[in-house]
Structure 1
Amino acid sequence: MALKIILTSAASWLLVGCTTPAPPPTGTGTAPTGPTTGVCNAQGAQFAVGKTAGASVVEEARQRSGSYMARVLRPGQMVTMEFNAQRLNLDIDSASVIQRVRCG
């Protein structure tokens, strides 16, 4: 009986982990600002290569690429490998200088 409860509970938690979170509601200030198409175009963010990855540079790169979100990837950092067409990736070096801009 205890094994059945444990297996049912484990299956429930696995299903919860597979759900997709809802996008943030509009008007709360949590959604990205500025023009976005949602689909990333890394060409628009190429200006950022060689600049320090500060908040304003990252946000401007996100806006210029049309991406919904951006993430800064540090050397040796573990990251998820799923492709997301709405995400801009900024690869930086140990001094926080942007080395590469790509979508995914």
Structure 2
Amino acid sequence: MGRKASDDVIAAITASRGDKPVRVLQPDSMVTMDYRPDRLNIDVDAKGIITGLRCT
């Protein structure tokens, strides 16, 4: 957290997760409400800084 969600950073996170899904959530993003415990949500702020990680 606290790093810019650059393409390289997101690619590294995605690669470390193998075939498990990853999605980046920006402020005011519309998202599905389905429960996917294997999916990593990467929350970013308006400046593209990672503010949180959660699996839901």
- Band of TM-score, shorter chain: 0.7 to 0.9
Identity %: 36
> Relative contact order, CA 8 A, sep 6+: which one is greater?
2
Q: 2: distance between equivalents of 1:67 and 1:87? A: 10
Paired positions, count:
56
Distance 2:19 2:37 in 1: 8
Mind listing any 5+ residue stretches in structure 1 that lack a counterpart?
A: 1-48
Q: Look up the match of 1:62.
A: 14
Larger helix share, 1 or 2: 1
Letter in 1 for 2:23: R
More strand by share: 2
Find the aligned partners of 1:53 and 1:68 in 2 and give their Cα distance. Answer: 18
- What is the RMSD computed on CA atoms of the aligned residues? 1.6
